Structure formats: structure tokens, C-alpha cells
Amino acid sequence: MFDFLSDYDNPTLLGAFWMTVKLTFFSGIGSLIWGTLLAAMRVSPVPLMRGFGTAYVNIVRNIPLTVIIIFTSLGLADTFRVTMGSDDFKVQGFRLAILGLATYTAAFVCEAIRSGINTVPLGQAEAARAIGLTFSQNLRLVILPQAFRSVIGPLANVLIALTKNTTVAAAIGVAEAAYLMKTMIENEAAVLLIGAIFAFGFVVLTLPTGLILGWLSKRLAVKR
Amino acid sequence: MTEVSVAKEDVAATGELVVLKNVNKHFGALHVLQDIDLTIARGEVVVVIGPSGSGKSTLCRTINRLETIDSGAIAIDGKPLPAEGKALAKLRADVGMVFQSFNLFAHKTVLENVMLGQIKVRKTDKKKAEEKARSLLDRVGVGSQADKYPAQLSGGQQQRVAIARALAMDPKVMLFDEPTSALDPEMINEVLEVMQQLARDGMTMIVVTHEMGFARSAANRVVFMADGKIVEEAVPDQFFSNPRSDRAKDFLSKILHH
């Protein structure tokens, strides 16, 4: 029943899912960093930064991911010649996909973290200011560490959504799971089976993410 | 403005440390601080009392600019209060603050709470910061709790840690914003004793409180506020036994004769 799987070697089933994992990992890191910076901007005392953060979130989260990903390829790469440090089409596509995914996901990470910042009692920030910490020290040492712990759950949701969103990278030729699935469906007469295999593959990736982060969220919760 | 009737000799004064001049502040339509003039000398312990909503907490919070002011001027040790940025942070490091709700950093241990400002603001090295933190925690009587998290401590213990955290910065003046109001009755004394000791050691203190016993025994001067104004200033004995303003008489009759 699963014989046809061995006909595919570019990528193999495992190779395709490995690509999905790599896309998730790198764009996950990117969006966490960029999303945290955006959240910092949105609570900053500088109006220009607040404005930028707000505008970024409201624009980016309302654009379909497909549009962003296709723009990275047709817009950034083809029109503006942003080669992402490689002439290899495949490497370029991989890096552009990460850029697009991180750009998009950062908006959601930012909002998750910002809601976390709102759970930290005002007194914590006041106490930090009162001992002479600057705004950025206050954020780094007092506010964000507590905010992160309270939004591990919501961040897990974002990460799971990101894992599934990586399938959009197939649109610019990145050979990840959905890309292979499309090829298989075209070639085989086993739509249901193929669908089930890939659905299962994604559940295998995302279920532990949710469980582990759920456990961490309980473990790291700040007691007040 | 009532005349200041404190005899200067009563105060171990070596200069003016905190000066508020003609300070005004509004919360929307509420004129919460009205033409406040107040001078606190080095080493002086000033207790601010008054009914709820009289602006005493706000007054306390304007001194390290946790609350901004609409007009007037505040100077600490001769320097006007900076509006924002690094200069303000630097000044705040010199002004210790103790809050009603303790506000210990919930994600850090007691020891880390007392070390954080030393390391990040004063740039003290870690070993020295820890030594100092431990000795301060011993001094306020919670040395054995150093490795616990704030939520594991009683309110009285948390507030004593908060005092140690403020003292770790070697502040020029300490602000206490109703430090015992959130405490269970049996824990109030352990905090007041630490404050009494501080006062005896010569710390300049501005204390907003409802603890009249503390005001009587530790204060050099009592400032009575009502409706956003300083109504009366006097040495504790004179204020409690012979208040001049009707507002203060009314207030004292409500709290002392029950």
C-alpha cells in the first residue's frame, strides 16, 4: 500500500518533512526575535517607534501569507534582485521563504508578547524604575522575562500555526512536505492515503510542540 | 499655606535634601496636588498623613517622578528632577522607594531582588553585591529566606525585603508609600521596627502612613494633607496633642478616639 513512497527521492518523504522542520525552526527563531523587538517598540515611550510597531502589525497580519511569500520571490528576488546571498534557486527559495514566514509570524508573536506584557502588574515596572533601571533594562530584566512565561501557551499556538503555514513555501518551489504531497497527488491514484500520510506527519510535528510547551508554561508560571 | 512651625534645632539638618516648590498636579478634573511647598532636610524623618484621596501617595510618587507634575519644581540634593531618560534613572537610583504592595520582582529570588539594582545600575561586581545583599537581608531579619521567591514569603517579610532592595542602592532619601497598609495586623510591627531602626540610623525618610504610633515615635515632623493641600505641618507632639486646623482636629478625632 505504501510502495509508491519509495518512488520519490527528490525529495523523499522524510526529506520533505525535514525541510518543513528547518523552515519552522529558522522562521520560528526569526519571528521570535523580530516579534519581541516589535513588542518592545509597541510599548516604548518613543511615539515614532510605537507608531512603527502598530503599523507593522496591522499591515502585516492582514496580508495573506501567500501574498507575502510570493512577493519575496517575485518581488524581492526577481524584481529587486535580493539574492539572499546565493545564486542557487533552491537555496534562495528556502531563505526567502524563511524571511517571508518570519516577517508574517512576527506580527503574531508581537501581539502574543504584548498581551503577556499586559499581564505583568504595573508595580513591577514601577519598582524597576524606582531602583534606577532604564527603560530597556526594565524591559529586558523585569517585564519581558515575566511576560514570556505568561504567554508560552499563546506562543505555542503561533508556533503550531507557523509549522502548518510553512506549506505555503511550496508556492515558491521549496521542496517541503506540501510540495511533495502535491506531486504525489498528481502522480498517484491514492488521494485519501496521501492526505492521511501528510496530515499524520504534521500532527507528529505539532502535537509534541503543544504538549511540551503546555508543560513548560505550567512549570515556568510566575507565582504572585 | 500654613506656616512651618518646626523648630530648626529639632532637625539634624545639614542642608535641604528634597525641595518641592509650588507643585501642582491634576488627574483629569481632580486637582490632586495644589501649590505644594515642602522642604525636607538631610536626616529628617517626615511623616505624611491625611484622609484617603488627600494626595499624599501622589505627593510621595512625584518625588521620584513615578508621577509627573503639571507645574512647579522638585529638586533633590540641589538638582532639579530630570524629565526622563538616563538622567532620571540615575536620580531614581538615589531615591529608595517602598511600595504598599511590595512589588518584589516575582520571577527573581529574594537575593536576586536585592542584587539586581547593585549589579545593573551601580555596576557593582557580583560577589560584592551578594555580600551586601546578604548583610542587608540579615539586617532586616530575613537572611534565612534569601533563596526563596517572593510569593513564598509573608507580606511582612516581603516588605522587609523591599526595604533591603531599596537600601542596596545606598539611597540619599527613602520614600515609603503606605508600607504597612497591605499587611496583616500582626506583621505591621516587624516592618515598622525596621523603619524605626532606619530612622535612628539617620536615614532621610518621607513616610506616607496611617500608623500614628510610628509618626509619634519616629517622625521629626508631621505633614497633614487634605484635599490636595498641605493643611498643617508640626512636630508630632504638637500635632497630635494640639492640632491647629479644624481639618486636622476632625481627622484626629476620627482615628484616635476609637
- φ, ψ of residue B253 to 5 degrees: the values are -65, -30
Q: Does B123 touch chain A (CB under 8 A)?
A: no
Mean pLDDT for the stretch of residues A91-115: 96
Q: How many CB atoms lie within 10 A of CB A37?
A: 16
**Boundaries of domain holding A149:** 3-220
A58 falls in which pLDDT band (50, 70, 90)?
very high
Q: In chain B, which residues have their Cβ closer than 8 Å to the Cβ of A128?
A: 105
CA of B256 to nearest chain A CA: how many angstroms apart? 32
CA of A59 to nearest chain B CA: how many angstroms apart? 31
**Minimal CA–CA distance to A13: which of A177, A191, A204?**
A177
Least confident range of A43-57, A153-167, B3-17, B128-142: B3-17
**What 8-state DSSP symbol labels residue B84?**
S
**Mutant choice from B68, B104, B105, B167 vs A, greatest count of A C-beta within 10 A:** B105
Q: Which three cell numbers stand for residue A84?
A: 539572499
This prediction has a pTM of: 0.86
ipTM summary value: 0.87
Q: How many CB atoms lie within 10 A of CB A2?
A: 9
Across the interface, do A126 and B99 touch by the CB < 8 Å criterion?
yes
> Do the Cβ atoms of A57 and A110 come closer than 8 Å?
yes
Res. B9: pLDDT tops 70: no
Number of cross-chain residue pairs from A and B with Cβ atoms under 8 Å apart? 75
**How many distinct structural domains can be found in chain A?**
1
Mean pLDDT for the stretch of residues B105-121: 96
**Mutant choice from A44, A119, A124, A131 vs B, greatest count of B C-beta within 10 A:** A131
CA of A30 to nearest chain B CA: how many angstroms apart? 26
Supply the pLDDT for residue B257: 61
Across the interface, do A133 and B64 touch by the CB < 8 Å criterion?
no
Supply the pLDDT for residue A80: 87
Using DSSP, state whether B83 is helix, strand or coil: coil
Question: Which residue from B minimizes the CA distance to A222?
Answer: B107
Supply the pLDDT for residue A4: 86
Maximum distance among all Cα pairs of chain A, rounded to whole angstroms: 69
CA of B220 to nearest chain A CA: how many angstroms apart? 25
Q: Which three cell numbers stand for residue A90?
A: 533552491
B14 falls in which pLDDT band (50, 70, 90)?
low
> Do the Cβ atoms of A128 and B105 come closer than 8 Å?
yes
Res. B103: pLDDT tops 50: yes
* pLDDT, tens only, B56-76: 999 999 999 999 999 999 999
Q: In chain A, which residues have their Cβ closer than 8 Å to the Cβ of B120?
A: 133, 137, 141
CA of A158 to nearest chain B CA: how many angstroms apart? 24
Mean pLDDT for the stretch of residues B216-242: 93
Q: In chain B, which residues have their Cβ closer than 8 Å to the Cβ of A124?
A: 103, 105-106
The residues in A 117-136 lying below 8 A from B, measured between CB atoms, are 121, 123-124, 126-134
* pLDDT, tens only, A172-206: 989 999 999 999 999 988 899 999 999 999 999 99
Least confident range of A127-136, B9-18, B95-104, B164-173: B9-18
Q: Does B151 touch chain A (CB under 8 A)?
A: yes
The topology (CATH level 3) of B1-94+172-258 is: Rossmann fold (3.40.50)
Q: In chain A, which residues have their Cβ closer than 8 Å to the Cβ of B149?
A: 223
Least confident range of A24-28, A135-139, B253-257: B253-257
Question: Which residue from B minimizes the CA distance to A142?
Answer: B105
Burial (CB < 10 A; 0-12, 13-18, 19+), residue A21, is: middle
Across all residues in chain A, what is the average pLDDT?
Answer: 93
Across the interface, do A141 and B93 touch by the CB < 8 Å criterion?
no
Mean pLDDT for the stretch of residues A40-68: 96
Res. A11: pLDDT tops 90: no
Res. A210: pLDDT tops 60: yes
B22 falls in which pLDDT band (50, 70, 90)?
very high
Supply the pLDDT for residue B100: 95
B1 falls in which pLDDT band (50, 70, 90)?
very low
Q: How far is CA A211 from CA A24, A214, B140, B185, in A?
A: 17, 5, 43, 44
- Most confident option among A47-61, B78-92, B241-255: A47-61
Res. A79: pLDDT tops 90: no
Supply the pLDDT for residue B5: 44
**What 8-state DSSP symbol labels residue A223?**
P
Across the interface, do A124 and B103 touch by the CB < 8 Å criterion?
yes
Question: Which residue from B minimizes the CA distance to A121?
Answer: B103
Supply the pLDDT for residue A84: 81
Supply the pLDDT for residue A114: 96
Q: Does B158 touch chain A (CB under 8 A)?
A: no
**Mutant choice from B66, B90, B98, B120 vs A, greatest count of A C-beta within 10 A:** B120
Q: In chain B, which residues have their Cβ closer than 8 Å to the Cβ of A45?
A: 84
Q: What is the DSSP string of B225-253?
A: EETTEEEEEE-HHHHHHS--SHHHHHHHH
Q: In chain A, which residues have their Cβ closer than 8 Å to the Cβ of B83?
A: none
Mean pLDDT for the stretch of residues B6-18: 58
Across all residues in chain B, what is the average pLDDT?
Answer: 90
Res. B13: pLDDT tops 80: no
Across the interface, do A126 and B103 touch by the CB < 8 Å criterion?
yes
Across the interface, do A137 and B120 touch by the CB < 8 Å criterion?
yes
| Cβ-nearest to A129 among B92, B120, B162 | B92
The packing angle between helices A13-42 and A89-119, to 10°, is 40
Q: What is the DSSP string of A62-111?
A: TS-HHHHHHIIIIIIIIIT---TT---HHHHHHHHHHHHHHHHHHHHHHH
CA of A85 to nearest chain B CA: how many angstroms apart? 39
Where do the structural domains in chain B lie, given as residue ranges?
Answer: 1-94+172-258, 103-170
Which stretches of B148-245 are DSSP H helices?
Answer: 155-167, 185-200, 212-218, 236-241
- φ, ψ of residue B182 to 5 degrees: the values are -100, 10
Res. B256: pLDDT tops 80: no
- Which CATH number is A21's domain given? 1.10.3720.10
